[in-house]
Structure 1
């Protein structure tokens, strides 16, 4: 029976999570409940649960602080965070904590059960993997490489450690190489890769070690023209492993055995940027050096520009700037994958809001949890750009659908009338009801029932969207736009516009001018 602990300061929600699903039937036992992180930590230390379902925003100790301590108490425990849609800042921290998932309240019971089952499956896989490593030679390799990377070869006797592992590297120069497969290799394939490496390096003094199920490290002892030979070996190995889509990274060559640690660290650094430079290729440490401070400033400027353009509601410019951001990140090279995930989450949240603002009621909404999962599973910069471009396209489609709807229920007839007469300052619900031959109370109730919003909300939204379109025209003055969208009082129009967009008409137009000047 798997163990789960529920942490939620709202007692009603906590009880709902515990009782809405028959957890026992799923092979899951709720071994504890807590209203804050401090109490939860005591339970977690005692029970060592496989899964913790926790609210993020709690008194005394919030979920994020608790999550950090859980990694120390029970590192294998999977954490599923719950929070409100507006708490984006928490989602950023959840990514850094490597939480298993992040669900928005109110949480659907079926979705929660599915995520818990996925977390348990993930826990099972990692547990089995760790058990295998501890029972085999790769565990010793892991320990050696950890010491080599952490100490840089300075704090322990590298030669002695290699001898204990049965490895002899004669020199006079040394370098490290990593071979990473994009997929986890099964036992037979791993042996094939090891055999290929052994055949290729038969004339060299080397050692190959399995670091994890899809990554090998090669320690090289080199003689004359070491850098040239190292490159040749990488090229030959890449050609031999074309069926397995591997990325090969090279650390620099050093004259002392204890400096192997530096070369290995450099290989890891090069591997860490494969999500930007590209997988399935050879990357040397020199390829990963960040361009300069100018690239960093360019990146920050484009991020701010993208934010502004999304808020201004101009998807065509957003597409252009996203493309520029893509190129800037490639140029900078040294952006960690975790930072890309935070960027993706930030902009996907903003774009999701725009899609929701423009979409019609009958159009299926996005599942923000699925978007978050896609971001968590991102492997490359290209994945991030694809996610954001997909959302931008959905935004464009929603805007088009909003303009071209052809459905004609009573509410749709009313909406069609409003679209044609929104500029009429005397437009009222009664006037619309009379135009389609229904009573005012009937139409009011129908609006709320069919569309989930009332007449006033819809009229305000369509007038504001039309005003945004008009303000994008260079020759339009604010008072002219005010009259065109059905307002007699420019001051009241400005108040409504700022409430809807966050900008006054003048500020909005100024922002547009700045964008189109660039």
Structure 2
């Protein structure tokens, strides 16, 4: 610590310099002065930490010096010495926040003790300031994370009203308790890089159906609010909550924004969805679709369609989608129906002896259940068009009567313990003859065909999410769960567990 001694008597200054153990006190003498004016001039050069001063001095006494030091150098510590036991001196010393007030003659031990105590206070203050600087730096470095957590707690009501304002002051966040606010949910996959966030508004990550969007805490400027014009000009889609007075009512705005957010699946172009007009988007979307059909009618027509290769799959899927929406079904329900009808169509094609080449993987695994209806509709159409194209490009060789009867028997009795020998006895032909004809026309042996059919049947059960895996194995004709798992992986390329997980995970 840097120390200045101020006294108009040279002998006293010299005594203090000589007899105080400065090094042991972690102090350094940086100067001395004969009066207050000299001390102030010296302070401008050395900015000392501790001033030891007499009170009665010419030109400027110790009390006036204390007053000036407190104004110009508020962090320095002042120790006053005086030969007069005057209460008025003591009162003024307290007024100027003097560290200590000692009566002359002062013993070396007493002065050393007072200086040591002052040094400890200064060190404690320096450490406190260092910690404050470290804390401020930490807040600056982690401002986004701290702000995110704070606003999340604010919106969810986890910060009591009594603590809101102190918390804001601690974090230096410009949130006004009685301002007008509005919460906006920016949907995932929106290019938000060029959007200007208004002053005193904040943006944090916000997950919608496992996909990362943005939540904007918008402080409304009553004079000029151009934020929504900016969103529209950049073709941003978002759900808009109501305007609320005060940050304690943000939950009401969030509830409305989340309610409007559920209607984003009906968008076919960028739009801002408000609670009051969310039904408009659903109605407009349904008007673009053909009349709805029952699920039974869709199943029958799909089988008929692929039996005769009739190219009306797009209208049929649109009618199915219309029915799903009217029945309150979600996107994943529509995908499950489509997967079932797709498998039925593929089996119908194979029943007629048309060989098609398809990937082992489930073609629907890349259809994101959280996409808008329009996107899901287009992806599903492409899957059916792919099947149709495979059919058109494949040879249309019809199975023989024996093979057709064998396949028909499998489809009716696949849940039973069927064998090729039993079918041979039923058709009154040898087992080896059936085996040879079946392999020649289908390209695979009897048992792999049966297992393939059972695995394909199990796909709808897996997609429903209503059954445990060992129950699905049993319902699909597999008596052994481990054997079912091996055959599933051979046919589909992945395990049943992975298949079900893929159905529930959003795909990018």
TM-score range, shorter chain: 0.3 to 0.5
**Higher RCO (CA < 8 A, seq sep 6+):** 1
Instruction: Choose 1 or 2 for highest CA Rg.
Output: 2
TM-score, normalising length from structure 2?
0.41
